[in-house]
Amino acid sequence: MDYTEIMVRYGELSTKGKNRRLFISQLSHNVKKSLHEFTNVKIRADRDRMHLILNGADSQQVMEQLRPIFGIQSFSPVIRVKKSPEVIQETALEMVSEIWKPGMTFKVQSRRSDKAFVWDSNDMNREVGSAIYNGIEGIEVKMIQPDIRMEVEVRQEAAYLSCLTVQGPGGLPVGSSGRGMLMLSGGIDSPVAGYLAMKRGVEIEAVHFYSPPYTSEQSLHKAQQLAVKLTPYVGSIQFITVPFAEIQEEIKRCTPSGYWMTITRRFMLRLSDRIREQRGGLAIINGESLGQVASQTMQSMAAINDVTTTPIIRPVITMDKSEIIEIAEKIDTFELAIQPFEDCCTVFAPPEPKTKPKLEKVVQYEERLDVEALIERSLAGLSIQEIKTNDVYLNQSIIEMDDLL
């Protein structure tokens, strides 16, 4: 069918009172960015709905682009026709015929703001309903929970028809909750954490700690490729690579192995926080899940968290591994995350990390290090790149080759 516009329903936005205007303008901005290739499409954002006037653009392709945009509750492709009873009946029949399958029921739901139109909404329900009923053999009417809901709206300028509703991802428009730094490793949990934070409107920048020569370039590429998987929700993501080898060497040289993990994490958090400050972020996001590993006991988290008062968002903190994996599969990061390229934590993993580190001891051991100088040197070596949806850092053939070796 030649749809003329896509009607977008806002999600939670409608309940957000004063912030509503901000949310709507953020959502328009995100939709515009995601549709930048469709130069014909015009966006009109009203209080309750957004209208994308297609002007000849392919409705399927436009709808594909809308699918991952947070803040969209649902959307419907719409056909605009002139306000003629016959044209409305014919078009409605054609639209329902296209999606009807034997056994499906329908209902017509009409509204008219043009009170001068020949039919009132009851007439319209009846007249359009009989056109469909008589036109499709075997179709039945059902008032409650029909399979197909044919919506007809007659306004001053034209009539609008739609009978298909596609669920959007819900959530809040990315950017409406401010910016946060996502600590992105190459694992399963942190990409899921990033996805969930974006769903609540956080614009993320990825921070990745990289320890060459102890970790391979492939481990970096894996994290970059995971960032690629998160871009459909935002268009692009800033990826910040943080040199971390010197810090890990120093920790290993100067402190007892039971405390390496806690001290390493404290450095990661300090660095993430400094980067956040530089880049105007308000929070840090990570993939910690309570009790999953030694660094994620309450005692460990308390000792690590001690280096900052910045809010830390831990979207997967209470989830079981299987629940996290379910989301990772849905957002297609799981296969990539289980590739065995080691990251900086595994290389320096101590044989027996403390699961209940004592803060006084941590602080005491850290005094053996020149914390500030180490941080400054690492920050001096940051590299920042923009990651886009079509980028390839780790392709399938490398993954398969690795499987063979």
Which chain residues interact with Mg ion by CB under 5 A?
A: 185, 187
In the list 293, 371, 375, 399, the residue contacting ligand ATP (rule: CB under 6 A) is 293
| Distant-in-sequence, close-in-space partners of 53: CB < 8 Å, separation ≥ 6 | 4, 5, 41, 42, 43, 44
CA nearest 1: which of 103, 77, 110? 77
Taking the complex as a whole, the smallest distance from the CB of residue 195 to ligand ATP amounts, in Å, to 12
Angle, CA 76 vertex, CA 49 and CA 120 arms, to 5°: 75
The dihedral sign for the CA sequence 27, 28, 30, 35: positive
Q: Around 61, how many Cα atoms within 13 Å sit in the side-chain half-sphere?
A: 11
User: Tokens 């130069």 identify what position?
Assistant: 39
Angle, CA 385 vertex, CA 383 and CA 389 arms, to 5°: 150
Query: Considering beta carbons, is residue 123 or 342 the nearer one to ligand ATP?
Result: 342
CA nearest 298: which of 317, 325, 316? 317
Is residue 345 within the footprint of ligand ATP (CB under 6 A)? yes
Taking the CA atoms of residue 251, residue 255, residue 257 and residue 262 in that order, the dihedral angle to the nearest 10 degrees is -70
Is residue 209 within the footprint of ligand ATP (CB under 6 A)? yes
Query: Considering beta carbons, is residue 184 or 237 the nearer one to ligand ATP?
Result: 184
Query: Considering beta carbons, is residue 189 or 203 the nearer one to Mg ion?
Result: 189
Query: Considering beta carbons, is residue 185 or 248 the nearer one to Mg ion?
Result: 185
Length of the chain, please? Answer: 405
Taking the complex as a whole, the smallest distance from the CB of residue 245 to ligand ATP amounts, in Å, to 11
In the list 24, 344, 374, 394, the residue contacting ligand ATP (rule: CB under 6 A) is 344
Is the previous residue joined to 351 through a cis bond, with omega within 30 degrees of 0?
no
Taking the CA atoms of residue 35, residue 38, residue 41 and residue 42 in that order, the dihedral angle to the nearest 10 degrees is 60
Is residue 287 within the footprint of ligand ATP (CB under 6 A)? yes
Q: Considering CB distances under 5 to 8 angstroms, the limit depending on partner class, which of ligand ATP, Mg ion, none binds residue 184?
A: ligand ATP
Query: Considering beta carbons, is residue 187 or 201 the nearer one to Mg ion?
Result: 187
Q: Considering CB distances under 5 to 8 angstroms, the limit depending on partner class, which of ligand ATP, Mg ion, none binds residue 288?
A: ligand ATP
CA–CA distance, 192 with 194 (Å, rounded to integer): 5
Provide the 10 A C-beta neighbour count for residue 399: 17
Q: Considering CB distances under 5 to 8 angstroms, the limit depending on partner class, which of Mg ion, ligand ATP, none binds residue 275?
A: none
- Draw the binding track, 5-34, toward ligand ATP (x: CB under 6 A; -: no contact): ------------------------------
Ligand-binding site membership of 287 (annotated): yes
Taking the complex as a whole, the smallest distance from the CB of residue 34 to Mg ion amounts, in Å, to 30
Burial class (CB within 10 angstroms; exposed 0-12, middle 13-18, buried 19+) of 143: exposed
Residues 322 to 341 in contact with ligand ATP, rule: CB under 6 A? none
Q: Considering CB distances under 5 to 8 angstroms, the limit depending on partner class, which of ligand ATP, Mg ion, none binds residue 127?
A: none
Task: Tell me which stretch binds ligand ATP (CB under 6 A): 101-109, 121-129, 292-300, 369-377.
Answer: 292-300
Query: Considering beta carbons, is residue 159 or 345 the nearer one to ligand ATP?
Result: 345
Provide the 10 A C-beta neighbour count for residue 196: 21
Ligand-binding site membership of 279 (annotated): no
Ligand-binding site membership of 296 (annotated): yes
CA–CA distance, 204 with 182 (Å, rounded to integer): 6
Ligand-binding site membership of 209 (annotated): yes
Taking the complex as a whole, the smallest distance from the CB of residue 317 to ligand ATP amounts, in Å, to 11
Q: For strand 179-183 and strand 283-285, is the pairing parallel, antiparallel, or unpaired? A: parallel
- Draw the binding track, 182-201, toward ligand ATP (x: CB under 6 A; -: no contact): -xxx-xxxx-----------
In the list 127, 151, 288, 366, the residue contacting ligand ATP (rule: CB under 6 A) is 288
Taking the complex as a whole, the smallest distance from the CB of residue 68 to ligand ATP amounts, in Å, to 21
Identity of residue 62? V
Question: DSSP letter string over 180-243?
Answer: EEEE--SSSHHHHHHHHHHHBTPEEEEEEEE-TTTS-HHHHHHHHHHHHHHGGGTSEEEEEEEE
Taking the complex as a whole, the smallest distance from the CB of residue 171 to ligand ATP amounts, in Å, to 20
Q: Considering CB distances under 5 to 8 angstroms, the limit depending on partner class, which of ligand ATP, Mg ion, none binds residue 208?
A: ligand ATP
Binding residues: 183-184, 208-209, 265, 287, 296
Binding residues for ATP: 183-184, 208-209, 265, 287, 296
Residues near ligand ATP (CB under 6 A) = 183-185, 187-190, 207-209, 286-288, 292-293, 295, 343-345
